Homo-oligomer: A and B are copies of this chain.
């Protein structure tokens, strides 16, 4: 594995002037309810409202000017698209985002708001990738993949880097949800290099391609997720699967019902707006509480871009 903690430190130095150092949130009442000490890294307060700003910013600020002038392109169900649009705008580069037709309107608006061009396609991974390939051959633009890329994984790992600095005492467990595996991959590299904490990923039962892949010892190339956690519908990437195999101790699953319950708990107890994806680690803890009792557990809240007109309760 070539990707190391050095890459994450370099990424952090590169992106720190542009991103927020998001706070750690806690709730005594929530801790009492769950039976462990929870630390939430609030990436819903991050630029563009999600951790994806970290990876996209690292990618764009790693590029040379000649490539940037031809533009960047990506496919995304939402937050990575907004992140790349935002990061490209910081360097004055053209940006195209291929989005599935069924992406939440609030995420389409965000991408458009940062001045990127949106190209809609059918909501399948094949259609997304096909459209990207076609546009790259037409435009000569550079693909910034939403997760299957070292520069993205290193960028996403900076959230865990800050988290370990911000919490005074050593944590026992660090958790993140799994979509394409960019966040959990970067988190795994960082946490294993900097601490003795366990790294636990969380997935909806109805989007458990990473869990299945690790069980079988082989990444699933295709999988049809069906979860409310719209940020976790991507299939784990090739590079991400390799990194997760080496750095992730365990993946826990949770039901859709529990995701909604955990999301409400975060909203009402922490008083912050988070996406359903953010609630997946807490949902997994509620479903399988044993190993968490009395432990210090850090959870990365991934984003807060929610359509207030279609809440899940």
The 8 Å CB contact of A44, one of B271, B304, B308, is B271
Q: Which chain B residues border A274 with CB–CB below 8 Å? A: 271
Known: A308-B313, A309-B313, A313-B309. A267 touches B273 (CB 8 A): yes
By the criterion CB–CB under 8 Å, are A304 and B271 in contact?
A: yes
By the criterion CB–CB under 8 Å, are B23 and A264 in contact?
A: no
Tell yes or no: A211 within 8 A of B by CB. no
Tell yes or no: A51 within 8 A of B by CB. no
| Per-residue contact bits, chain A 261-278, to B (CB 8 Å; 1 contact, 0 not) | 000100110011110000
Q: How many residues of A contact B (CB 8 A)?
A: 18
Tell yes or no: A49 within 8 A of B by CB. yes
Give the CA-CA distance A306 to B306 in the complex, in Å. Answer: 17
Give the CA-CA distance A272 to B270 in the complex, in Å. Answer: 9
Tell yes or no: A45 within 8 A of B by CB. yes
By the criterion CB–CB under 8 Å, are B23 and A271 in contact?
A: no
| A237-293 interface with B by 8 A CB criterion | 264, 267-268, 271-274
By the criterion CB–CB under 8 Å, are A45 and B271 in contact?
A: yes
| Closest Cβ neighbor of A268 among chain B residues | B308
CB distance from A215 to the nearest CB of B (A): 35
Question: Which of A272, A311, A313 has the most C-beta atoms of chain B within 10 angstroms of its own C-beta?
Answer: A272
Q: Is the interface of A mostly helix, strand, loop or mixed?
A: loop
Q: Which chain B residues border A272 with CB–CB below 8 Å? A: 271-273
Give the CA-CA distance A274 to B304 in the complex, in Å. Answer: 15
Give the CA-CA distance A75 to B23 in the complex, in Å. Answer: 36
| Per-residue contact bits, chain A 17-50, to B (CB 8 Å; 1 contact, 0 not) | 0000001000000000000000000001100010
Give the CA-CA distance A45 to B272 in the complex, in Å. Answer: 9
Q: Which chain B residues border A106 with CB–CB below 8 Å? A: 268
CB distance from A273 to the nearest CB of B (A): 4
Give the CA-CA distance A95 to B195 in the complex, in Å. Answer: 46
Give the CA-CA distance A239 to B159 in the complex, in Å. Answer: 49
Question: Which of A106, A271, A272, A308 has the most C-beta atoms of chain B within 10 angstroms of its own C-beta?
Answer: A271
The 8 Å CB contact of A271, one of B49, B264, B311, B313, is B49
Give the CA-CA distance A268 to B274 in the complex, in Å. Answer: 10
Give the CA-CA distance A274 to B273 in the complex, in Å. Answer: 10
Q: Which chain B residues border A309 with CB–CB below 8 Å? A: 313
Q: Which chain B residues border A23 with CB–CB below 8 Å? A: 23
By the criterion CB–CB under 8 Å, are B267 and A308 in contact?
A: yes
Known A-B contacts: A271-B304, A273-B273. Give 16 more (CB < 8 A).
A45-B271, A49-B271, A106-B268, A264-B308, A267-B273, A267-B308, A268-B273, A268-B306, A268-B308, A271-B272, A271-B273, A271-B274, A272-B272, A308-B313, A309-B313, A311-B311
